[in-house]
């Protein structure tokens, strides 16, 4: 089984993973996967510390295997460094964070449970002006053109077709739909380069479902799914 959920923000929003909210998690085993759609905050502090280690051990002790893409609230200096080994998994490359915690890297296409997943994290922090560079905000939060070109190459090698798109932010199309009924302060002109890339995805890639987070709400419109407070959703 494969489940997806929205931001967990270190321990601030992990209650949706607790047994009383998500009883299905207690029926999982390590061959079942929970994918956090960015802002996991699993790697956040400037160095490994007791609080981080406790969180890693908590995830590692769960019945399932935890996977995550990056959002905008991650320590990218550490996450993108050589601190965590890159290993072969799901017919591509992941970074192993702990025994059963893995980071799905930007631009890779993974095969999980015989389904294909295109992963492309990243997003823009709307409060970055109140944060400190390389302390609690990192410029790598927004993907660069090299990562986008890498992603396009991988998608073309998969015949421009995947079962699932997993992102943290979303396209202009999805964003405009959300803006009709959601109440949050994201500006339409943020994440412009990232949304342009997602526009290319929408118009050039055949996909079954697009799952994303970032906007702190829960909605479904067609094949687009926004996740935040709801318990993990099974998709495979």
The length of the chain is 236
What pLDDT does residue 70 have?
A: 98
Residue 155 has pLDDT above 80, yes or no: yes
User: What tokens were used for 204?
Assistant: 């050039």
How does pLDDT run across 77-135, given as a tens digit for each residue?
999 999 999 999 999 999 999 999 999 999 999 999 999 999 999 999 988 999 999 99
Count of C-beta atoms within a 10 Å radius of residue 127: 11
The secondary structure of the chain as a DSSP string is -EEEE---TTTTT-GGGSTTT-GGGGG--TTSEEEEES---SS-SSS--HHHHHHHHHHHHSSSEEEEE--SSS-HHHHTSTTS-EEEETTEEEEEEETTEEEE-TT-EEEETTEEEEEE-----TTGGGS-BTTTB-GGGS--HHHHHHHHHHHHHTTTEEEEEEESS--HHHHHHHHTT------TTTTHHHHHHHHHHHHH-EEEEEEE-SSS--EEETTEEE-SSSPPEE--
Whether residue 186 is predicted with pLDDT greater than 80 in this model: the reply is no
Q: pLDDT-based confidence at 189, cuts 50/70/90?
A: low
- Mean predicted confidence (pLDDT) in 24-42: 98
Distance CA(152)–CA(144), nearest Å, equals 13
Question: What band does 178 get if pLDDT is binned at 50, 70 and 90?
Answer: confident
The per-residue pLDDT for 181 is: 73
Residues forming a β-bridge with 174: none
- Whether the per-residue pLDDT at 60 is higher than 70: the answer is yes
The pLDDT, as a whole number, for residue 188 is 60
| Cα within 13 Å of Cα(89), Cβ side | 16
Q: Is 51 left (phi over 0), alpha (psi -120 to 50) or beta?
A: alpha
Q: What confidence score (pLDDT) does residue 182 get?
A: 67
Residue whose pair of structure tokens reads 């967990």 in the numeric block: 8
Query: Who wins on pLDDT, 124 or 189?
Result: 124
- Mean pLDDT, residues 212-219: 94
Going along the chain from its start, the domains and CATH numbers come out as 2-234 (3.60.21)
pLDDT at res. 198: 97
CA distances from 44 to 17, 144, 157, 191, 221 (A): 19, 21, 33, 22, 32
Are residues 123 and 38 in contact, defined by beta-carbon separation less than 8 angstroms? yes
Block residue for tokens 């980071």: 103
Integer CA distances (angstroms), 145 to 52, 106, 150, 186, 197, in order = 31, 12, 8, 23, 9
The per-residue pLDDT of the chain, averaged, comes to: 95
Q: Looking at the predicted structure, is the pLDDT value of residue 183 above 70?
A: no
Residue 185 in this model has a pLDDT that exceeds 80: no
């Amino acid at each position: 089984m494969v489940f997806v959920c929205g931001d967990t923000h270190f321990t601030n929003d992990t209650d949706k993973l607790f047994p009383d909210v998500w009883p299905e998690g207690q029926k999982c085993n390590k061959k079942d996967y929970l994918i956090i759609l960015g802002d996991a905050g699993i790697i956040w502090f400037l160095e490994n510390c007791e609080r981080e280690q406790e969180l890693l051990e908590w995830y590692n002790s769960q019945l399932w295997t935890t996977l995550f893409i990056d959002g905008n609230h991650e320590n990218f200096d550490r996450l993108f460094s050589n601190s965590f080994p890159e290993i072969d998994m799901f017919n591509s490359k992941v970074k192993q964070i702990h025994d059963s915690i893995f980071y799905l890297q930007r631009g890779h296409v993974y095969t999980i449970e015989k389904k294909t997943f295109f992963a492309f994290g990243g997003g823009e922090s709307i409060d970055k002006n109140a944060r400190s560079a390389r302390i609690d905000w990192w410029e790598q939060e927004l993907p660069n053109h090299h990562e986008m070109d890498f992603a396009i190459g991988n998608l073309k090698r998969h015949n421009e077709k995947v079962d699932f798109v997993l992102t943290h932010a979303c396209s202009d199309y999805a964003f405009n739909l959300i803006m009709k009924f959601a109440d949050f302060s994201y500006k339409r002109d943020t994440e412009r380069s990232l949304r342009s890339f997602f526009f290319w995805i929408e118009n050039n890639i055949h996909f079954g479902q697009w799952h994303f987070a970032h906007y702190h709400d829960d909605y479904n419109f067609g094949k687009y799914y926004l996740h935040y407070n709801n318990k993990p959703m099974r998709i495979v």
